[in-house]
Amino acid sequence: MIAMGFSNVAGSLSSCYVATGSFSRTAVNFSAGARSTVSNIVMAATVFIALEFFMKLLYYTPMAVLASIILSALPGLIDIREACNIWRVDKMDFLICLGAFLGVLFGSVEIGLGVALAISFAKIIIQSLRPQVEVLGRLQGTNTFCSVRQYPVACRTPAVQVIRIDTSFLCFINATFIKERIMEWVRAEVDTSNEKVRERVHSVVLDMSNVVNIDTSGLVGLEEIHKELASLGIQMAIASPGWQAIQKMKLAHVVDRIGEDWIFLTVGEAVEGCLTAHKGSAMEC
């Protein structure tokens, strides 16, 4: 691309045509066994000789013959095995691959790239709209907390709900979904504890180790979670927020509303702090 840019700059000084990289010429070059850019020099010399000495002979060559040369080279560029592998690994990536293929096949390279970019952006937006929110448990004998869905052997701490937000940017796109997801789990846990007459949930720990940044909508979402938990008599704690996130939480006075004592460095410290505070309040009662 740099070489083509320089050639166009130099060619513009002598009224040359704009040089571009043709997909069809690339396909023919690749199928011919080219392995380096020296093939371009050989191809340029061959084209020059053909135009200089064989132009009259090639002038009446049917377009179908020229098209068949290109079409015969295209099947070698289609890797069906790799497409099947993409389908097994990620269905959305296969959709991007298929969209680019059909766009180029029935339109042009620009249309194929446009379709692929549009589907890629849609994929990013969908993933941002519904990020993963996981309930965590402690691996027995360790201070490591991990998803109970991924590791069923992880033990959930009684009376303490540990939830991890798996998004790097808590923002207006996903703040409402995350809040509703967290409150849905908390209410379900409260109802279950009441039905089974077991120790009621008194604390919720939000693991924000994956949250790198947060916007004003995300801050409002955290405040709403805190208010709803407080109305249920549940204390909220935050563990391991990113430095940008905690800085904005301080500027927006979210830390003051939650309480500096309820911001912890690790999930383990947050759980121990919640258990200690609950035992202390129980002894006072």
Q: Under CATH, what is the fold of the domain 131-282?
A: Transcription Regulator spoIIAA (3.30.750)
256 pLDDT tier (thresholds 50, 70, 90): very high
- Short-list 238, 174, 249, CA closest to 203: 238
Task: Please state, for a pLDDT cut of 90, what percent of the chain lies above it.
Answer: 40
Instruction: Tell me the mean pLDDT in the region 107-118.
Output: 89
Q: Residue 20 and residue 39: Cα distance in Å, rounded?
A: 16
What count of residues does the chain have? 285
Q: Is 204 exposed, middle or buried, given 0-12, 13-18 or 19+ CB atoms closer than 10 A?
A: buried
pLDDT of residue 285: 36
| 86-104 confidence digits (pLDDT tens) | 999 999 999 999 999 899 8
Mean pLDDT (whole number) for 152-172: 90
The set of residues, in sequence order, having a beta carbon less than 8 Å from that of 169 and lying 6+ positions away, is 128, 211, 212, 213, 214, 215, 218
Residue 42 to residue 64: CA distance in whole angstroms: 25
Helix axes 109-129, 91-106, angle to 10 degrees: 160
Q: Are 18 and 5 in contact (CB under 8 A)?
A: no
Model confidence at 17: pLDDT above 70: yes
The domain segmentation of the chain, as residue ranges, is 1-78, 79-129, 131-282
Task: Report whether pLDDT(22) > 70.
Answer: no
pLDDT in tens, 184-238: 988 888 877 666 655 678 899 999 999 999 999 999 999 999 999 999 899 999 9
